[in-house]
Structure 1
Amino acid sequence: MTQYAAPRTRPASQRRPRSRDGSSWRVPTALLALTIIPLVAGSLRLLEIAGGPQLLPTNPRIDASPVPLVLHVVAAAVYAVVGAFQFPARIRRAHRAWHRRAGRVLIGAGLVVAGSGLWMTLFYPGAPGGDLLWTARLVAGSAIATSIVLGFTAIRRRDIDAHRAWMIRAYALTVAAGTQVFTQGIGEGLFGTTDLSTGLSVSSGWVINAAVAEWAIHRPRARRTRRARVATAGS
């Protein structure tokens, strides 16, 4: 009988890792897609403030005091777009210097987003959503600023895991405007445009993004734990 030799396999240490370049762009692409509608709306509002055509509904609060909105839109655009490329590990490892420089810019932009959001909440009278949304905006703005400060102090003491967790939380809350496009549209479509329905639907956008952030923070840790258990069991 003819004997067939079993195919030779390389040791695990000599195998070439499969390319994952495509996966490095999935997270930034998804985040940019989430924020595209708020970014376009904000750009149209800036165009209107600069004297361009009015393409969005009139907002007398903005007409009376446009400065905080301008700061909010510009800072949020920088934070959303640049921040989207901070999360993939492959990009961070390949461009460490850029990651650090961009991080410094994002800290400033994120604090401007939070500060201008709080400014508008406190000093723009008669905003829709009632006391519920007013309170939710105060909580969200304060949480963004706190998360950024804690993320900065964490990286100063070289606590990478804590830095990553706090920056994910800050980014998730900041880009909740993209999620709120859907939650507000669905909520007002089902329950009308009362202060209660608006407050609940907009607030749910922050809640959803906060929940996704916590999942993203803890999910990789669970995977590493499972891998370590499998390796220990096989040794």
Structure 2
Amino acid sequence: MKTNVYDENQSPDMPQHNGKPKPQKNKGTAKTVSSKWFIVALLVLSVVPLIAGAIRLTELAGGAEITPDNARFFASPLPVVLHILSASVYSILGAFQFSSGFRRSRPGWHRAAGRLLVICGLLVGFSGLWMTLFYPRPDGTGELLYALRLLFGTAMVVSIILGFAAILRGNVIRHSAWMIRGYAIGLGAGTQVLTYLAGLLIIGPPNELSGALLMGAGWVINLIVAEWAIRKRS
């Protein structure tokens, strides 16, 4: 007859294997590792838009040759400069808000970063909407892409406002959900690089319609991942 052997420091209901304690997986450690990889993925997704933004700022600061593609930025540089700078802070700082370790060990840091992210996120959204509405449309921007930019730009601004309002009421769960959605939309430019490259490989150079659909797919994919992350947290 087998005897359930355990010492005085071991709980009798601890899982046993051949009379010895069965090792348990450290779920907390696994969750931390998963969180770190998720943050790395978000930072990698931000790289291409950050590089493109840096190149644009260099052009504006260095007095590059004015072409039909960049004339609108030279004519009115403030919106695009605000958009690039705020998006850079938003994408990088926002990624670290997903670190549960930071939130637990440095709640003050999380709150301070969150306030800055609200400001930067709203600047990203409003400057993006301004450029869509008032800059001359670049070649290849049809009605569908124009509408998608207005739709998702507005959705980003609304998400951030709802997230901020939720934390003022003390509703952390709704705050987190809306801020994740806003961040997902804001990071759409990174995913759009991937969807555009995928479309280029599969169907060749996109036309006005397929290009708009590929851009829209970037936002949709991000929102799907955002909803998954929200449900995983709840």
| TM-score, normalization by structure 1 | 0.83
The correspondence for 1:68, drawn from 79, 97, 120, is 79
> How far, CA to CA, are the matches of 1:59 and 1:99 in structure 2?
37
Structure 1 residue 78, shift from structure 2 partner: 0.4
Structure 1 residue 164, shift from structure 2 partner: 0.6
Instruction: Answer whether contact 1:129 1:194 (CA < 8 A) is retained.
Output: no
Count of matched residue pairs: 217
* Equivalent position of 1:48 in the other structure: 59
Instruction: Answer whether contact 2:35 2:98 (CA < 8 A) is retained.
Output: no
Structure 1 residue 194, shift from structure 2 partner: 1.9
> How far, CA to CA, are the matches of 2:222 and 2:192 in structure 1?
10
The correspondence for 2:208, drawn from 176, 182, 195, is 195
Unaligned runs of 5+ in 1: 222-235
Q: How does 1:1-235 map to 2 (within 5 A)?
A: 6=5, 8=7, 10-11=10-11, 18=26, 20=29, 21-51=32-62, 58-127=69-138, 128-189=140-201, 190-221=203-234
Unaligned runs of 5+ in 2: 15-22
> How far, CA to CA, are the matches of 1:203 and 1:58 in structure 2?
22
Instruction: Answer whether contact 1:39 1:77 (CA < 8 A) is retained.
Output: yes
> How far, CA to CA, are the matches of 1:16 and 1:187 in structure 2?
45
1:22–1:218 Cα change, 3 Å: closer
Q: Which runs of 4+ in 1 moved over 6 A?
A: none
* Equivalent position of 1:230 in the other structure: none
Q: CA RMSD in A?
A: 2.6
Identity, % of aligned positions = 46
> How far, CA to CA, are the matches of 1:53 and 1:60 in structure 2?
10
| TM-score, normalization by structure 2 | 0.84
Matched residue type, 2:45? L
Matched residue type, 1:73? I
Structure 1 residue 6, shift from structure 2 partner: 3.2
Instruction: Answer whether contact 1:151 1:166 (CA < 8 A) is retained.
Output: yes
Structure 1 residue 149, shift from structure 2 partner: 0.5
Structure 1 residue 16, shift from structure 2 partner: 10
> How far, CA to CA, are the matches of 2:169 and 2:210 in structure 1?
43
> How far, CA to CA, are the matches of 2:89 and 2:4 in structure 1?
59
Structure 1 residue 59, shift from structure 2 partner: 2.2
